[in-house]
Amino acid sequence: MEWWKKAVVYQIYPRSFMDSDGDGIGDLQGIISKLDYLKELGVDVLWLSPIYDSPNDDNGYDIRDYRKIMQEFGTMDDFDRMLDGIHERGMRLVMDLVVNHTSDEHRWFTERPDYYIWKGQPNNWRSFFSGSAWQFDETRQQYYLHLFSRKQPDLNWENEELRHEVYKMMRWWLDKGVDGFRMDVINMISKDQSFPDGIDGDGTPHFFNGPRVHEFLQEMNKNVLSDYDIVTVGEMPGAGTEDAKLYTGPGRNELNMIFTFEHMNLDQGPGGKWELQPLRLTDLKENLEKWQVELYGNGWNSLYWNNHDQPRIVSRFGNDGEYRKQSAKMLATCLHFLQGTPYIYQGEELGMTNVAFASIDEYRDIETLNMYKEKRAQGMQHENLMEAIHAKGRDNARTPMQWDASENAGFTKGNPWIPVNPNYPEINAGNREETDSVFRYYQKLIALRKEVEVITEGDFKLLFREDEEVFAYTRQTADEQLTVYCNFSATPRELPVPKGCVLIGNYPPQENQGAVQLRPYEALCFFDGNKNGGMDRGKDGENG
């Protein structure tokens, strides 16, 4: 089996992870100083958000030079040392590959206009970061396309020379020894060349999973990926299960897995991410079931609740007050027993929560700031906008990692580039030794994936489909069965006793007397593996 099917990936947002030199910005030496922590957690792969030279209009997702390290993060020497440190500990490194667009400060933008998309007349597409997706350029007297910020012009993948430049750059990093790529919005690289207007300015039907995307990825695979033992994951807004089969299916020679957005879009209205809507658990169950069943044997998926663009899951689908620890562990249980490769975002393993800054001035993210400005100008109330930002803003994920209870959560000796979440004295990695810490629970989940075959291999069946509080399912192979019970509510629930013994749970064990009594946000996983001499984990599983 491919190694990445049994791997657990940890995402680092370098700017917010650990600052070694007191400038308030995380850096590579900071990461090096925390490699033992990551090893202790037990993850196999580290994915770093972009660390390349960038003017930081979008925190590194606007790249000026693909072969240079961002000055604030360190030097290429630091990078080499970090890579060695990762490999010495038996872990691997995945780099972020941002090739749908560059920075407008990339030298290509002036030297090679044919690498970008220019039009005499713009169409009506809107940018993901507010306003038109087209910017007029005085020198060229034409508009260029930017699906993200004005400083992120889209690359023209129709240009073969450009494509080969990208492949060359990828090989340069792989030859240095990196172990794979997370590919930023990679399903947007092929645009409908007639550039039709979209309904209400929504251009996505004309560039999500566009006409030549599979051809381009197969070309990339042939020219680069197939020569290395690496892992690839494509970030793909608007990709459904049928698309996922094409991107990741056996024999397709494209990518190993994708990030879907479907389960992340269930708590929003038709107006998009800022239109808040409570999650219906049955929607989440139906969606995850679809991905589990459809991809079984036909492709591979990644499993995630968090990343640098999403609010913190414990605040979003859990309970970040009284049941913070229980619900953080419950959500982890629910995700980690699914089929796929799990991704943990920095701080998730501590149960870090959303932040609610009182003033818009404390926010840093271009998406949030542009949206606020645009909607205020349209007359929307400050209070309503702040409510949406508190719930969905990307800065929820980007407050500094909470290492300990010292000033600035131990993240920096200087002034952090974004304020620290004020709850750091209580929620921090210094508490991870406590027997009921969220960290220890993640450690156990990660270890179990290595031990228990059915977690990787088993098929998926949803139980209690109509239940709005309990998410329950089984995973099964010929020899083993798992049953997972997750209470997504604070209401105690009674469920039938499944086969097997408790493998792991997030509460102290209790005697089952004819029924399982699920406590608030309780998660329990039962394992039955005795059929053909499979493992017998005894009665007392791992609890905490």
Which residues in 255-284 contact ligand NOJ (CB under 6 A)? none
Residues in contact with ligand NOJ, counted by CB under 6 A, come to a total of 9
Q: Among the residues of 224-308, which ranges form H helices?
A: 241-248, 281-295
183 makes contact with ligand NOJ (CB under 6 A): no
Nearer to ligand NOJ among residue 9 and residue 98 (C-beta): 98
Dihedral sign (CA 55, 60, 62, 68): positive
Nearer to ligand NOJ among residue 57 and residue 457 (C-beta): 57
Nearer to ligand NOJ among residue 72 and residue 235 (C-beta): 235
Q: How far is the CB of 295 from ligand NOJ (least distance, A)?
A: 22
Find residue 98's DSSP bridge partners: none
Q: How far is the CB of 187 from ligand NOJ (least distance, A)?
A: 11
208 makes contact with ligand NOJ (CB under 6 A): no
Other beta carbons within 10 Å of 454:
22
467 makes contact with ligand NOJ (CB under 6 A): no
48 makes contact with ligand NOJ (CB under 6 A): no
Retrieve residue 190's tokens. Answer: 């092929």
154 makes contact with ligand NOJ (CB under 6 A): no
Retrieve residue 49's tokens. Answer: 């958000």
Residue holding tokens 């663009």?
309
Nearer to ligand NOJ among residue 33 and residue 204 (C-beta): 204
Find residue 142's DSSP bridge partners: 137
Contact pick of 32, 45, 98, 429 for ligand NOJ (by CB under 6 A): 98
Q: How far is the CB of 50 from ligand NOJ (least distance, A)?
A: 8
Catalytic residue among 62, 184, 243, 528: 184
Asked if 502 and 524 touch (Cβ cutoff 8 Å), the reply is yes
Which residues does 322 contact at the CB level (< 8 Å), separation at least 6? 490
Q: How far is the CB of 60 from ligand NOJ (least distance, A)?
A: 9
Q: How far is the CB of 269 from ligand NOJ (least distance, A)?
A: 22
Catalytic residue among 235, 254, 522, 528: 235
Q: Give the separation between CA 424 and CA 404, rounded to whole angstroms.
A: 7
Contact pick of 19, 44, 57, 58 for ligand NOJ (by CB under 6 A): 58
Nearer to ligand NOJ among residue 313 and residue 484 (C-beta): 313
Beta strands in 236-372 (DSSP E): 257-259, 268-269, 272-276, 302-303, 341-345
Q: Give the separation between CA 29 and CA 143, rounded to whole angstroms.
A: 41
Nearer to ligand NOJ among residue 183 and residue 429 (C-beta): 183
Query: Quick one: how far is CA 153 from the chain centroid?
Result: 23
Nearer to ligand NOJ among residue 394 and residue 493 (C-beta): 394
Active site residue 367: no
Nearer to ligand NOJ among residue 308 and residue 316 (C-beta): 308
Closest CA to 130 of 109, 153, 154, 146: 146
Other beta carbons within 10 Å of 296:
15
Closest CA to 484 of 503, 510, 457, 465: 503
Q: How far is the CB of 104 from ligand NOJ (least distance, A)?
A: 13
Q: How far is the CB of 135 from ligand NOJ (least distance, A)?
A: 16
Beta-strand pair 341-345/459-463:
unpaired
Q: How far is the CB of 137 from ligand NOJ (least distance, A)?
A: 20
Q: How far is the CB of 94 from ligand NOJ (least distance, A)?
A: 14
61 makes contact with ligand NOJ (CB under 6 A): yes
Beta-strand pair 231-235/180-183:
parallel
Nearest residue (beta carbon) to ligand NOJ: 61
Nearer to ligand NOJ among residue 147 and residue 330 (C-beta): 147
Retrieve residue 448's tokens. Answer: 């179990």
Which residues does 530 contact at the CB level (< 8 Å), separation at least 6? 536
Q: What string of DSSP letters covers 173-227?
A: HHHHT--EEEETTGGGS---TT----GGG--GGGTTT-TTHHHHHHHHHHHTGGG
Which residues in 291-350 contact ligand NOJ (CB under 6 A)? 308-309
Beta strands in 141-265 (DSSP E): 142-145, 180-183, 231-235, 257-259
Dihedral sign (CA 266, 397, 406, 429): positive
Asked if 331 and 313 touch (Cβ cutoff 8 Å), the reply is yes
185 makes contact with ligand NOJ (CB under 6 A): yes
184 makes contact with ligand NOJ (CB under 6 A): yes
Q: Give the separation between CA 38 and CA 312, rounded to whole angstroms.
A: 20
Per-residue contact track with ligand NOJ, 216 to 245, x per CB under 6 A? Answer: -------------------x----------
148 makes contact with ligand NOJ (CB under 6 A): yes
Find residue 182's DSSP bridge partners: 96, 233
Active site residue 44: no
Q: Which positions lie near ligand NOJ, rule CB under 6 A?
A: 58, 61, 98, 148, 184-185, 235, 308-309
Catalytic residues: 184, 235
